[in-house]
Structures are given as C-alpha cells and as structure tokens.
Amino acid sequence: MNTNEICELARRAPLFSGLADCEGSDHWVALGQTFVLLLFSMAPIWLSSLIVYGNGKDLAGAAFKAAIYGSVARGELFMYCTALLAPIFWIALVDLPGARAFPSNISHMVLTAVTGLLAAAFFGLISAGRPPNEVFTFRASLFLFGFSVVLLYLGTVYHVSRIGKATAEFKRQETDFTKAVGEHRQ
C-alpha cells in the first residue's frame, strides 16, 4: 500500500477521516492549544493536589499520587468532560467562508453528545447523593475524561487545519481583488 492509498483508507474512517488532510504544523498548533486549555481549565485539580501534597508530612511520590486521586476520586472529572466538549459543537457545526467542511462532523457530534450526556448523568447522580460504586466512578470518569480530551484534540486539529486553508483563501481573494481594481484603474 502506498501513501495515497493509506490516506484514502483513512478518509473513510468515521472519526479520524480528517487526519489525512492535516499537516504536521496543524498538529503542533492543536497540541499547543489543547495543552494550554487543559493546563488552565484543570488548575483547580492540579493546584488543589499540589496544596494538599505540600501541606502533608509525607513528600514521597505516592503521597502526590494520593493527593491527585483525592482531587478526582469522587467524579469531579465528569464536569470537565462536558466543559471540554462544549466548544466542539460550535466548531463542528459552523463552516467558515472559504474553509472546507468539518470532517466527520456527524460522528463528532454524536460522540460528543453521548459522552457529555453520560458525564452529566453520572455527575447528576453524584450531586443527588446517589453516587455509583466509588471504584467505578473513578474509572468511568477517568475513561470519559480521556475520551473527551481525544475528541477535543481531534476537533481542534480539524479546526486549525480548516482555518489555515481559509486564511490562505481569504488572502488569495484579497490579492485577486486588489489586482482587479488596479487593472480597472489603468
């Protein structure tokens, strides 16, 4: 199989079809945006863990793990799932002028909705005082959070890829217009 055949095969995969059209620079920009978003949005988790760890008497690595676990063990990550996925709806639904269509927007929308609804339902159970098993809650929140980050990254890289091409198209149209006006004046 050559590179073109692999790209064509990838374009048929529901969630990952747009990756065949993304360049390395798109991934680099999307990684940066996703990292900054996670760094600041997750500040209550990592900062509270750091404070608990720093105020403890045991400064071993296991104590830091325990501080992190204590910050997310009761389903707190469920809230972050819905918050991280909310922008994906806008990104997948709005096609900017000159930009190509968002790849796999239906699969993104469905998976985003299902993940968000599951996270909201579990968080609702916890808030109502009827939390599921603690081990299940922790593992489910960790899994849904990881999946949310993957959906966020894919949505971001597709968006970056589309915007870059739209910007080039806007610049081309501006240049063509300026050239046409210049020719008309002569």
With respect to residue 12, please indicate whether it lies within any of the assigned structural domains: no
pLDDT range class, residue 168, cuts 50, 70, 90? low
Query: Total structural domains in the chain?
Result: 1
Distance between the two ends of the chain, CA-based, in angstroms?
54
Residue 149, pLDDT score: 95
| Least confident piece of the model among 5-19, 29-43, 65-79, 117-131 | 5-19
On whether residue 123 sits in a domain, the answer given is yes
Residue 16 maps to a domain: no
The pLDDT of residue 5 is above 60:
yes
Separation of alpha carbons 121 and 117, rounded Å: 6
Is residue 15 in a domain?
A: no
Q: Check whether 165 has a pLDDT greater than 60.
A: no
Tell me the per-residue pLDDT of 62-83, one tens digit each, with 9 for 90 and over. Answer: 888 888 898 888 888 999 999 9
Residue 97 sits in which domain range?
A: 24-177
Query: What does pTM read for this prediction?
Result: 0.79
Q: How far apart are CA 148 and CA 123, in angstroms?
A: 15
Q: Is residue 3 part of a domain?
A: no
In a domain, 8, yes or no: no
Does some domain include residue 185? no
124, part of any domain: yes
In angstroms, the CA 153 to CA 17 distance is 14
